[in-house]
Amino acid sequence: MTAPSKAPDAALGVRAHSGWAAYCVLEGDPREPRLAARGRMVLCDAAVEGSKQPFHHAEPMPFAAASKFIAQCTASTAALAGRAVDTLHGAHRVAACCILTASGRPLPELRAILASHALIHAAEGEFYRDAVATACSVRNMTVRRIRERDMETELAKLPMPAPAAKARLADFGREVGAPWTQDEKLSALGAWLMLSSLPSRRARR
């Protein structure tokens, strides 16, 4: 999709859940960012039974059937993520994306995942994060994954002191109203970090 030629570069922050993801888009000067959009991406096909938690649904299946089902869900979720990213890019010329993550530990192959309930939970988190990250990457956006527990440390990378940055994040919530939960706060912070890292923005500091 062709981006508007006069739109400013923007950045996207995403916090994924089972079947959907919260997002915020920030644009403008990273010293005075604007919240351009917030919302939810639908990332599972309601017409596919079990697609919201695909690894849970696949767990009792014979392995060949489980593998085929996961592949089906991967394809449908990739398409949904791609459409969501295209829409945001078309509206805001998104140049970079932050994906909020949990532990960030690599997962084993599918057979081992399906044999462990703990790994099934971990895999479903990564499943949706991977879909959004891939959709952004193939559209030439810069993608960075940041662990949620590291976000407090990441505040130091913003072009203002941490207390002022936290106050600005709170202002976003007052400006747009509810919902302004942890989903939106972390997504907005992730977008802000990426906005600050854009080459054109660094040059203006």
In a domain, 196, yes or no: yes
- Domains held by the chain: number: 1
**What tens digit of pLDDT does each residue of 12-53 get?**
999 999 999 999 999 999 999 999 999 999 999 999 999 999
9: left (phi over 0), alpha (psi -120 to 50) or beta: beta
Q: Decide if 172 is inside a domain.
A: yes
Beta bridge partners of 16: 21
Residue 3 lies in a domain: no
Residue 1 lies in a domain: no
In this structure, how many other beta carbons lie within 10 angstroms of the beta carbon of residue 182? 11
Asked if the structure places residue 4 within a domain, the reply is: no
CATH number of the domain at 24, please.
3.30.420.10
User: pLDDT tens digits for 115-149?
Assistant: 999 999 999 999 999 999 999 999 999 999 999 99
Compute the Cα dihedral for 191, 193, 197, 202 and give only its sign: positive
Pair type for strands 20-27 and 10-17: antiparallel
Does 147 reside within a domain? yes
- Structural domain harbouring 194: 10-204
Residue 171 lies inside a defined structural domain of this protein: yes
Q: pTM for the complete prediction? A: 0.91
